[in-house]
Structure formats: C-alpha cells, structure tokens
Amino acid sequence: MSFSIKKEGEVVVVDVEGQLIVGNRQELKQKVLDELERGEKKFLIDFSQTGYIDSSGLGVLVSLSKKIREQGGELRLANLNDDLKTLFELTKLDTLFQIADTRDRALHSF
Amino acid sequence: MVEVDIPSDVRFIERVVELVLRECEFMDFAHRQIMLNVPVALTEAISNAILRGNRDNPAKNVHVRAQVDATQLIVEVGDEGEGFDLDASAVDPTTPENIEREDGRGLFLMRKLMDRVESVELPHGNLVRMTLHRE
C-alpha cells in the first residue's frame, strides 16, 4: 500500500495503491496537508488502484475535505469501483464528496 | 480455519485479513463479500480490539479465529483489555450532524456488512463474533 502524488496542471493528484486503512491513513493525511501548506488548492484522489477502505480511511477523507475547504480549496474523488461506491453509499458519504467516474472528468470538473 | 494471535499493532491487520480472505475465496464466497464485506468488517473489528480493547498496548495480543465453510463465515476477534461496551460508541454516522465526523463509522459498517455482530465479555477482555452467510 502506498500513495503517489503528482501535479496535473493546477491539480494535485493522489493515487491510492492498495488499501486505505487504519495503518496508513496518517501517511495520506500528511501528504495532502503538506501540499495544502505549500499553497495547493485543487486536489484529486484517484482510487483506480485501491482495494478496500475502512472507517479510518473514510474518516481521513472527511477530515481532508474539511481542511481543504477551509483553505478555500476543492477536493474531488475519482474511479471508485462498485464495491467502494457501495461503501460510500452505505455511509452516505457519496452526498458529501464530488465523485467522478474517471480521472479526466474529475480533472475537468474544477 | 484460521487461528492467529497478533500483537497490538495495526500493521498486522492487513495480513490477518488476507489469511481470512483466502479461506473465503476457497469456499467461493461472492466477489462483493471478498472485496468489501469481509475485509472492511474484519479490519474494523481488529482495529477496535487493538485501539479500544488493548488501548494500543503492544504487550497485549489480539486473537483472531475464523471458521469458513460452504454456508458461512464465523470470525471471532478477542482482545486482552478491560472490556468495552461496543454499543456505547454506536452513532448513526449518516445523519446531517454526524456526516462530517472523522470517527464513528466502525461499528456501523460492521453491522451493515455482516449478517450478525455479537459482543461477548470475557473474564479478561472482550470478544466480537461476526457471521456472514455465503452468497
């Protein structure tokens, strides 16, 4: 499990590879907060290579969403598979996040 | 059957989940159960045992026992803590006042993703037993 970060235009894109769970959520949080501190405003988290997400992982996404919004930024999520979509629907987090089917759609939605 | 003791270290969770998933795959559980129900609910249960039950004390272990057959998975997660009331933290994380909370989704997900979740108080610790019928 790991996270890779790169810049696509003005957007910071984070790929979540493997699981996003209690054991690694802080790493994701810190990476995004570091970018936010550097002045970045637009963030996209891509889940195309993600296995499963637990409640801690969901909690970190909620927390990051708030922090980014407080700094006047925007967060988008992309490429949730059917199981991850179900997870977001069960927790109603699909109503809190802007979720795109593809990376391109998310990038063009800013 | 999977039976394993791990120290209270969240880095071990994924490995234990992997062991249980292998058994479920062998018994031909549904794709969604293998990709969503089992890994998420089991991660929550082990994480609860480490962080709430054992209070992150590395000297205390978490015991995981999973029995899988053609009809169901029964998995038990036991800690060596002083016991905690699983239901005490039960909130509905989907309400407008809770939706932006960082915590409070663990037990909710266990109950949504498993057919049955029971909490048993042990003389020295707490045990959570979860049942999922194979689809």
Domains belonging to chain B, first-starting first, are 2-133 (3.30.565.10)
Q: Which of A54, A86, A95 to mutate to test the interface with B (most CBs of B within 10 A)?
A: A54
Q: What is residue B10's predicted lDDT score, i.e. its pLDDT?
A: 95
Q: Output B46 or B81, whichever has higher pLDDT.
A: B46
What are the pLDDT digits (tens) for B82-133?
A: 876 777 667 899 999 999 999 999 999 999 999 999 998 888 899 999 999 9
| B18 Cβ neighbours under 8 A, 6+ residues apart | none
Asked if the model's pLDDT at residue A72 lies above 80, the reply is: yes
pLDDT score for B18: 97
The reported pLDDT for the residue numbered A93 is: 97
Alpha carbon A27 to its chain centroid, in Å, reads 13
d(CA A94, CA A53): 14
Helix (H, G, I), strand (E, B) or coil at B126: strand
pLDDT of residue B6: 97
How many angstroms separate the CA of residue B124 from the nearest CA in chain A? 25
pLDDT of B89 reads 66
Instruction: Note the pLDDT of residue B59.
Output: 93
Mutate to test the interface with B, among A17, A52, A68, A93 (most CBs of B within 10 A): A52
Phi, psi (5° rounding) for residue A96? -95, -30
Contact B29, B106 (CB under 8 A): no
Query: ipTM score of the complex?
Result: 0.94
* Digit-coded pLDDT (tens) for B26-77: 999 999 999 999 999 999 999 999 999 999 998 999 999 999 999 999 999 9
Q: How far is B13 from chain A (nearest CA, A)?
A: 8
Residue B82: predicted pLDDT: 82
Q: Do B39 and A51 touch (CB under 8 A)?
A: yes
β-bridge pairing A50-53 and A74-78: unpaired
Residue A1: the pLDDT is 60
Residue numbers of the domain that contains A50: 2-108
pLDDT confidence of residue B91? 84
SS3 A18: strand
Measured distance CA(B31)–CA(B65) in Å, rounded: 22
Domain total in chain A:
1
DSSP lists the bridge partners of residue A98 as: A76
Residue in this structure with the two tokens 């290579």, named with its chain if needed? A49
The contact set of B with A (CB < 8 A) is 10-11, 13-14, 32, 35-36, 39-40, 43-44, 47, 51, 93-94, 99-106, 108-109, 112-113
Report chain A residues touching chain B, CB-CB < 8 A.
Answer: 1, 19, 21-23, 51-56, 58-60, 62-63, 66, 81-84, 86-87, 90-93, 95-96
- In tens, the pLDDT along A2-53 reads 899 999 999 999 999 999 999 999 999 999 999 999 999 999 999 999 999 9
The pLDDT, as a whole number, for residue B123 is 84
A98-104 average pLDDT score: 96
Q: What is the CATH number of the domain that holds A17?
A: 3.30.750.24
Contact B43 A21 (CB under 8 A): yes
Interface test with B, best of A90, A93, A95 (most B CBs within 10 A): A90
Predicted local confidence at residue B90, as pLDDT: 77
Residue A68, pLDDT > 90, answer: yes
Interchain proximity A52–B100, CB inside 8 Å: no
Max alpha carbon distance in chain A (Å)?
A: 34
Angle at A108 between CA A102 and CA A109, to 5 degrees: 90
**Rg of the Cα atoms in chain A:** 13
